[in-house]
Amino acid sequence: MKRILGIDPGLLHTGWSIIDVVGSSRKYVASGVILPPTKIDLSERLSFIFNNVSKLCDDFQPNECGIEVIFVNKNGKTTLLLAQARAAAIVAVANKNIPVFEYEPNKVKKALACTGHADKEQIYKMLSMLLPMAKPKTSDESDAIAIALTHANTSRIA
């Protein structure tokens, strides 16, 4: 069995999910969103993300992690801030000696909905079919589950 941590990084909302994989079987374990307080400095927010991802690793003991690659926004500052949040999550996972695998948003969409341009609703419908126990409350949580499933379906997992 492999346990996969999926992460949809964000400075305001970092979605996360845990799924178990045995052969072609996928089982939903847990998911949620890390919500740093909005009125704290950037360094404290990054520390909050790092600490919470570290705790997820301690609590769930994943073997591997899939994380979304950021895309370049029109606003360079936004892209830079998102990259820092993503880095905090990656370092938290790598610090626990868990391999990290990166997936572009269109690859995640294609892996689940067979099209790289699927919308959030199409992804949600596929998730509910593939993992009926998963009931994500936000798009960040849904995206994290989709990233974990993409990793499970595209990597070599025994």
CATH number assigned to the domain comprising residue 85: 3.30.420.10
Rounded CA-CA distance 87/25 in Å is 30
pLDDT grade for 4, boundaries at 50, 70 and 90: very high
Residues known to be catalytic: 8, 68, 140
Rounded CA-CA distance 86/145 in Å is 16
Q: pLDDT digit string (tens) for 8-24?
A: 999 999 999 999 999 98
- The reported pLDDT for the residue numbered 93 is 98
pTM here? 0.93
Q: Which domain holds residue 120?
A: 2-154
Q: In the chain, how many domains are there?
A: 1
pLDDT grade for 26, boundaries at 50, 70 and 90: very high
